[in-house]
């Protein structure tokens, strides 16, 4: 009896939590693109420099996540087409994700350049570690209406430069992604479509990443503790894109808070009957 009452209480808590999450779900955008041009520069283990070009036509892909609970106030302008814009320079990140880049073959003994790149900040353990102020700019613009087309432009730019007795880090990342469609995105809340599949995609997207990480306790030559040191720039055309509230493995299921809210009701009823 006690266990059942405890389970019922937990189910009640889960349901209340689901209601709280219902107003601000996580939004997901998946995209692919084709490289137009770009290059990656870095150093070898002995600190000799190199420069390698990306191969035009190679595929770039990524997934973005928008935490709608953290979005700043929207600005809406225009007519008959309306543009909803979210813009923020605070350090709370609501637009993040991961990129899969077609890193070209690097010279022998080159320090690693990962193909998977996060859009997350790399914050310092302590505010006193920063050698320059951290920076984060986030921008989301959605244009709909007018009976013609729609466009989504998510942009994130983050920079963290810091060091302490054990580590030195200098990392900046920029993604500017252009998604357009000849069909109207379905508006759910201002600026956030309930879902979309882009059908007519344009050019003009870009990725820029600079990364340096060093073990400050290791001054052994020839690389003096440098674990990575590279800079890359890619321009690409978006070739496919889709978006919607976070879905499990691509299946057409309710957003997470809705799922748990629907699932909790019959569980509550069952537990109540058994108790």
Give the H or E element holding residue 272. Answer: helix 256-274
47: in domain: yes
Of all residues in the chain, the percent with pLDDT exceeding 90 is 59
**Structure confidence at residue 190 (pLDDT):** 64
Query: Do 229 and 112 touch, CB atoms closer than 8 A?
Result: no
68: in domain: yes
Helix, coil or strand: residue 101: coil
Query: Do 102 and 59 touch, CB atoms closer than 8 A?
Result: yes
Concatenated DSSP letters for 159-183? EEEEE-SSEEEEEEEEEE--EEESS
Cβ-based neighbour number of residue 137 at 10 Å:
15
Name the least confident of 29-38, 47-56, 183-192. 183-192
Residue 198's domain comprises 26-245
Q: How far is CA 87 from the centre of its chain?
A: 15
Residue 273 pLDDT level (bands cut at 50, 70, 90): very low
Name the least confident of 127-141, 223-237, 259-273. 259-273
| pTM: predicted TM-score of the whole model, two decimal places | 0.79
Residue 15 has pLDDT above 60, yes or no: no
**Structure confidence at residue 192 (pLDDT):** 77
Query: Do 154 and 29 touch, CB atoms closer than 8 A?
Result: yes
Classify residue 79 by its DSSP letter. S
Give the H or E element holding residue 3. Answer: helix 2-22
CA distance 57 to 238: 12
260: in domain: no
Cβ-based neighbour number of residue 266 at 10 Å:
9
Query: Do 207 and 236 touch, CB atoms closer than 8 A?
Result: yes
Residue 250 has pLDDT above 70, yes or no: no
Q: What mean pLDDT do residues 239-254 have?
A: 64
Beta bridge partners of 26: 67
Domain count, the chain: 1
CA distance 182 to 229: 41
Residue 189 pLDDT level (bands cut at 50, 70, 90): low
Please write the tens of the pLDDT for every residue from 139-174.
Answer: 999 888 776 778 999 999 999 999 999 999 999 999
Name the least confident of 41-50, 176-185, 239-248. 239-248
Between 51 and 2, the more confident residue is 51
141: in domain: yes
275: in domain: no
Please write the tens of the pLDDT for every residue from 61-75.
Answer: 999 999 988 999 999
CA distance 212 to 228: 5
**Structure confidence at residue 124 (pLDDT):** 95
CA distance 275 to 273: 6
């Amino acid at each position: 009896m006690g266990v059942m009452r405890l389970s019922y209480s937990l189910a009640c808590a889960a349901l209340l939590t689901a209601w709280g999450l219902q107003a601000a779900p996580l939004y997901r955008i998946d995209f692919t693109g084709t490289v137009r041009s770009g290059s990656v520069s870095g150093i070898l283990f002995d600190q000799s420099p190199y420069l390698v070009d990306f191969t035009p036509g190679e595929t770039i892909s990524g997934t973005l996540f928008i935490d709608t609970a953290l979005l700043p106030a929207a600005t809406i302008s225009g007519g008959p087409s309306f543009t909803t814009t979210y813009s923020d320079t605070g350090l709370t990140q609501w637009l993040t994700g991961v990129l899969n880049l077609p890193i070209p073959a690097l010279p022998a003994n080159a320090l690693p350049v990962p193909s998977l790149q996060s859009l997350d900040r790399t914050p310092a353990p302590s505010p006193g570690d920063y050698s320059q102020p951290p920076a984060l700019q986030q921008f989301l613009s959605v244009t709909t209406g007018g009976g013609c087309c729609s466009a989504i432009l998510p942009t994130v730019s983050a920079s963290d430069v810091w060091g302490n007795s054990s580590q030195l880090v200098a990392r900046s990342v920029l993604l500017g992604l252009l998604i357009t469609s000849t069909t109207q995105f379905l508006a759910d809340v201002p600026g956030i479509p309930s879902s979309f599949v882009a059908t007519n995609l344009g050019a003009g997207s870009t990725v820029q990443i600079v990364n340096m990480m060093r073990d400050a306790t290791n001054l052994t030559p020839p690389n003096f503790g440098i674990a990575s040191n590279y800079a890359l720039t890619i321009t690409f055309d978006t070739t496919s894109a889709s978006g919607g509230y976070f879905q499990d493995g691509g299946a057409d299921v309710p957003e997470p808070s809705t799922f748990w809210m629907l699932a909790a009701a019959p569980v509550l009823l069952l537990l109540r009957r058994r108790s």
